[in-house]
């Protein structure tokens, strides 16, 4: 782990391998001292991500099997198993019950259960979890298959209800929040209800925009500033809270 006191920001969920120049995106996050978790969407993408982040100070890669790709890629689960010992970080994984992916929900649940069970067996993994229109089901599965002493969950771009948020917090979950979430009344209200000691920042770049271009890890301070605006904290105070939360998560 890099010296956490030297961190310039936290981007706990982005997709650096989807930028036009993967290597340059990693180098830029490193130069900005942004503690970055770059997720993968399929196990086949893992080896290259692992290779490029093996010796970085601030960028970590996560091993994923995205729920939106399960219909086509569930056969890669054995590959996911093979690579799991190589990393502490798992993502992007979870469930997506949105209209486009609903028909694969049962297959998604099988894959997600498998991932949670393997992480529980291994112990010490940190997962970044997708939960579109499926927060109660995601929380049910975490509760059943990943005891909190066996791993940690960060709910990425959380859009559940306030009662879902309370339940998630009781299960030990963290929440990664991006600037996009601070732009709606509902998002701000939800953020206001999250426990402050469980909040991290993310960009989910390149799927979000900052000043008309794809967001990137160097935009994490914008997310912290927007978050601070919702919670009544200065950007510096908000960043201190986020870094303290990261330290607690990483143990």
Binding site annotation covers 145?
no
Please tell me whether 130 is known to bind a ligand: yes
Buried b (16+ CB within 10 A) or exposed e, 133-170: bbbebbbebbeebbeeebbbbbbbbbebeeebbebbbe
Residue 15 marked in a binding site: yes
CB 86 within 8 A of CB 50: yes
Q: Has 204 been labeled as part of a binding site?
A: yes
Strands, E, within 62-179: which ranges? Answer: 89-96, 125-132, 151-156, 174-177
Q: Is there a contact between 35 and 72 (Cβ–Cβ < 8 Å)? A: no
- Residue 13 annotated as part of some ligand binding site: yes
66 a known binding residue?
Answer: no
Annotated binding-site positions for a divalent metal cation: 13, 15, 92, 130, 156, 204
Annotated binding-site positions: 13, 15, 92, 130, 156, 204
């Amino acid at each position: 782990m890099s010296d956490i006191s030297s961190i310039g920001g936290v981007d706990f969920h982005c997709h650096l391998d989807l930028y036009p120049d993967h290597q340059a995106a990693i180098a830029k996050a490193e130069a900005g001292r942004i503690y970055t978790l770059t997720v993968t969407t399929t196990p086949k993408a893992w080896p290259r991500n692992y290779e490029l982040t093996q010796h970085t100070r601030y960028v970590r890669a996560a091993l994923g099997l995205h729920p939106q790709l399960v219909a086509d890629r569930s056969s890669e689960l054995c590959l996911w198993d093979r690579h799991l010992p190589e990393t502490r970080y798992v993502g992007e994984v979870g469930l997506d019950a949105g209209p486009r992916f609903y028909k694969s929900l049962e297959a998604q649940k099988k894959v997600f259960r498998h991932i949670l069970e393997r992480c529980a067996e291994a112990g010490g993994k940190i997962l970044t979890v997708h939960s579109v229109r499926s927060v109660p089901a995601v929380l049910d599965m975490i509760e059943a298959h990943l005891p909190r002493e066996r791993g940690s969950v960060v709910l990425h771009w959380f859009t559940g209800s306030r009662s879902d948020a309370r339940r998630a917090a009781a299960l030990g979950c963290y929440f990664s929040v991006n600037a996009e979430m601070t732009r709606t009344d509902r998002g701000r209200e939800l953020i206001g209800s999250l426990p402050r000691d469980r909040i991290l920042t993310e960009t989910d770049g390149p799927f979000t925009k900052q000043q008309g271009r794809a967001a990137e890890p160097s935009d994490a301070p914008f997310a912290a500033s927007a978050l601070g605006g919702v919670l009544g904290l200065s950007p510096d105070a908000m960043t201190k809270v986020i870094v303290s939360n990261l330290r607690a998560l990483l143990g």
